[in-house]
Amino acid sequence: MCGIVGYVGKKDCTKVLLDSLQKLEYRGYDSAGVAVFENGDIRISKSKGRLAVLEEKLKKEGWINGSCGIGHTRWATHGEPSDVNSHPHGNARVTIVHNGIIENYQKIKKYLEKKGYVFESQTDTETVAKLLDYYYDGDPMETIRRVLGEIEGSYALGIMFKDFPNTIYAVRRDSPLIVGVGDDEAFIASDVPAILKFTRDYYLLDMDEIAVLKDGNAEIYDVHGIKLEKQLLTADWDMEAAEKGGYPHYMLKEISEQPEAIKTTIIPRINNGMPDLSECGITTQRLLNYQNIFVVACGTAMHAGLVGKYVIEQLARIPVTVDVASEFRYRNPILTDKDLVIVVSQSGETADTLEALRLSKRMGAETLAIVNVKGSSIAREADMVVYTHAGPEISVASTKAYMVQVAVFYLFAFELAYAKEAISEEECKRLTKSLMDIPDIINVVLQQSEQCKYIASKLINSSNLLYIGRGLDYALSMEGSLKLKEISYIHSESYAAGELKHGTISLVTDGMPVIAVATQRELFDKTVSNVKEVKARGATVIFVTHSYKTVESDVADYKIGLPTIDDILMPMPAVVPLQLIAYYTSVLKGNDVDKPRNLAKSVTVE
């Protein structure tokens, strides 16, 4: 949540900050602001609303001309979205931008109020700005160190002191921060896409290190002020990958990129036709040690874990428990050194998932992270990492990241099942080959885009709908339902089809849309019976099933036909129409598809 950036160099700093912030708007877009050194003073401009509002304001009220500054795009946590709560915060002497949450800000605020400080905003961030001012004694590093010793919580901070013109100081704890370096210029940013227009080279700032950016250079110090030699990393994403590439929305682009993302993720992990995750530290010996597997994640990543559970249990016969990270970390789970905890995260920074990982490590379990963003906190702290190579996912609603997370679960399940001799080498090779065929199958499903748009046009006036399915289709229904509700704002629930008659069916009224997913042949007839039950009560049914299945009018009003492949692999092609239906419903309702209200992409607060 929240994105921060900073720039020192020779370019028009305000322009660079706005360009960089635009790439971070997925982290929040309640307000935006910049602070830039202009003729030795720090000038601030900030406003509620999107970045475009700030840009207009700057054009109208006067561009800030300078070559060093910091910027922020906000997802509100403390205090409503407003001009006054927007970052940067501070006074003429110290100005900061912040991503994270300061847990003990109330205590510090009371203390500072007693010392005569007056607070303007409701933010936790203003407390840090004022605490820096309070301790400032002419030595920025010493001041920062004192403040870090007092604040608790998570933060990535960009700091400027008026007495040290054209210099940025940056620190982090738990919230992400990178330090980019180009020709005679340096950057700070919450995420790599923010700097890609200018450079691909960056350092990962570690906890409690202090970066100092000046004269177009970046130097990094440890907490004792000793200069560090850090490894320079190079992003393998390019600008094009982070741009819309001709699509009207990132979400549609990312849905279309799924076949390629699967290939890039799985092909390097297949050796002689067999899954091979050994480069990620997953060895047969390790696999044979596990008695229980836990999958812990949030939102869509958790839904990928639900597919993983079905597949692992079915093939490898090992019990798998799936938990929402915010529940897992507080439910005192029972873990031993014979357990594997798999954490799944696109961003690798989700606060609850990160804490669940730390808890699992403390309790002695082995940890495996399935993560998209290289060098993210979760990737760095897990015992083993399988990177999903989806490239940058910009749209807040996750699509391609889900797809590759599921693909990794398949590879993992095949390898585990083979290691445990639950499947033969021949079967393992056959399944792996079928997985490799999925990208082409998804390309076929993508051609049903118009049918999905047509179905979406039937949903836009509904205020409630249901998704139902059984087994793997139930896991899929949950993802379909989340996708639709988060971007179309239509209230939607997912239910195990057989569970409907235990209460929920009373919600079904004339014309209420029910999206039924039935891709599992063994469960098909049972799901059809449940669909007939809702149809008989007036529901409008959208049926997602195999192309070859004939669907009578007493079962479905609309059908989406899917290619026939192994039942176990059906979630990959079957999620695509659910993503497209959600996408078009949002488009047809005129919503901001890529930036749905109240949401942010990287949830770095619990």
User: Rule CB under 6 A: which residues touch ligand F6R?
Assistant: 298-301, 345-347, 350, 353, 397-398, 482, 486, 602-603
Closest separation between CB of residue 251 and ligand F6R, Å? 9
Task: Give phi and psi for 406, each to the nearest 5.
Answer: -65, -40
Strand order of the β-sheet with 233-234 is 41-48, 31-38, 68-74, 3-8, 185-189, 178-182, 201-204, 233-234
| Residue 102 contacts residue 95 (beta carbons within 8 Å) | no
| Residue 505 contacts residue 533 (beta carbons within 8 Å) | yes
Which burial class, exposed, middle or buried, applies to 431 when counting CB atoms under 10 A from its CB (0-12, 13-18, 19+)? buried
Active site residue 15: no
Of 299 and 577, which has the nearer Cβ to ligand F6R?
Answer: 299
Task: Tell me which residue has its CB nearest to ligand F6R.
Answer: 299
Task: Give phi and psi for 132, each to the nearest 5.
Answer: -60, -45
Of 181 and 370, which has the nearer Cβ to ligand F6R?
Answer: 370
Active site residue 601: yes
With a CB cutoff of 8 Å and minimum separation 6, the contacts of 412 are: 275, 277, 282, 308, 312, 342, 386
Residue of 309, 312, 318 lying closest to 289 (CA atoms)? 318
Of 408 and 419, which has the nearer Cβ to ligand F6R?
Answer: 408
Closest separation between CB of residue 75 and ligand F6R, Å? 12
Report the alpha-carbon distance of residue 451 to residue 550 in Å, rounded: 17
Catalytic residue among 48, 109, 400, 601: 601
Residue 81: both structure tokens together? 């979205």
| Residue 74 contacts residue 21 (beta carbons within 8 Å) | no
Task: Give phi and psi for 502, each to the nearest 5.
Answer: -95, 20
Catalytic residue among 2, 298, 428, 452: 2
| DSSP 8-state symbol, 329 | T
End-to-end CA distance of the chain: 10
Strand order of the β-sheet with 513-518 is 491-496, 464-469, 513-518, 540-546, 558-562
Strand order of the β-sheet with 384-387 is 320-324, 292-297, 339-345, 366-371, 384-387
| Residue 197 contacts residue 239 (beta carbons within 8 Å) | yes
Closest separation between CB of residue 277 and ligand F6R, Å? 20
Closest separation between CB of residue 271 and ligand F6R, Å? 28
Of 67 and 604, which has the nearer Cβ to ligand F6R?
Answer: 604
Closest separation between CB of residue 496 and ligand F6R, Å? 20
Of 542 and 605, which has the nearer Cβ to ligand F6R?
Answer: 605
Of 269 and 601, which has the nearer Cβ to ligand F6R?
Answer: 601
Of 545 and 604, which has the nearer Cβ to ligand F6R?
Answer: 604
Closest separation between CB of residue 601 and ligand F6R, Å? 7
Closest separation between CB of residue 350 and ligand F6R, Å? 3
| Residue 136 contacts residue 93 (beta carbons within 8 Å) | yes
For the annotated catalytic residues, the residue numbers are: 2, 601
